[in-house]
């Protein structure tokens, strides 16, 4: 019969007890605040794209839910309004509410908080369609 210490030793990884198998967005040294990093953007887009896995009664509800969840990692999405059975909309994205103030050289700063790190900044592209059963499918991506 094994002792508790033997069980712990067998299950230990270099980082401690247990094994690291999760590849969540917040794992590793890549924080979601580095949204200009292509690897981080890819991971965040995997989450944003998962909105298509569900069906919603109204596409507006899906986008509002996505806006709320992205705000948890500091991304603010400008409000979008969807009308009609099918369509595509684009929304502006800001990080931490954007930047406002003076730069070190004395010039004024008033931007989205992303475009100074990533050329062109970020936008949320959303396409939606109403299905025959009355529910909606929503597809979203940060570009």
**Parent domain of 46:** 35-142
pLDDT per position as a tens digit, 56-79: 888 888 899 999 999 999 999 999
Give the model's pLDDT for residue 56.
Answer: 84
Mean pLDDT of 11-38: 62
pLDDT per position as a tens digit, 101-123: 998 898 899 999 898 889 888 99
Question: Is the pTM higher than 0.85?
Answer: no
Contact predicate 113/97, CB 8 Å: yes
Residue found under tokens 């931007």:
111
Residue 20 within a domain: no
Residue 17 within a domain: no
Residue 43 within a domain: yes
Number of domains within the chain: 1
Residue 13 within a domain: no
Residue 15 within a domain: no
Distance, CA of 44 to CA of 14 (rounded, Å): 27
Distance, CA of 139 to CA of 54 (rounded, Å): 10
Tokens standing for residue 77: 């999405």
Contact predicate 113/103, CB 8 Å: no
Residue 25 within a domain: no
Distance, CA of 89 to CA of 37 (rounded, Å): 25
Residue 115 within a domain: yes
pLDDT band at 9 (very low <50, low <70, confident <90, very high): confident
């Amino acid at each position: 019969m094994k002792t508790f210490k033997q069980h712990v030793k067998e299950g230990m990884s270099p980082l401690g007890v247990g094994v690291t198998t999760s590849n969540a967005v917040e794992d590793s040294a890549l924080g979601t605040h580095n949204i200009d990093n292509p690897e981080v953007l890819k991971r965040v887009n995997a989450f944003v794209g998962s909105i298509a896995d569900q069906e919603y009664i109204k596409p507006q509800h899906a986008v509002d839910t996505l806006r709320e969840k992205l705000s948890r990692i500091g991304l603010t999405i400008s409000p979008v309004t969807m009308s009609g059975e099918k369509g595509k909309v684009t929304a502006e994205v800001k990080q931490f509410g954007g930047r406002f103030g003076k730069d070190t050289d004395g010039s004024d700063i008033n931007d989205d908080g992303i475009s100074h790190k990533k050329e062109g900044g970020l936008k949320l592209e959303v396409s939606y369609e109403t299905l025959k059963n009355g529910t909606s499918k929503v597809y979203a991506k940060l570009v």
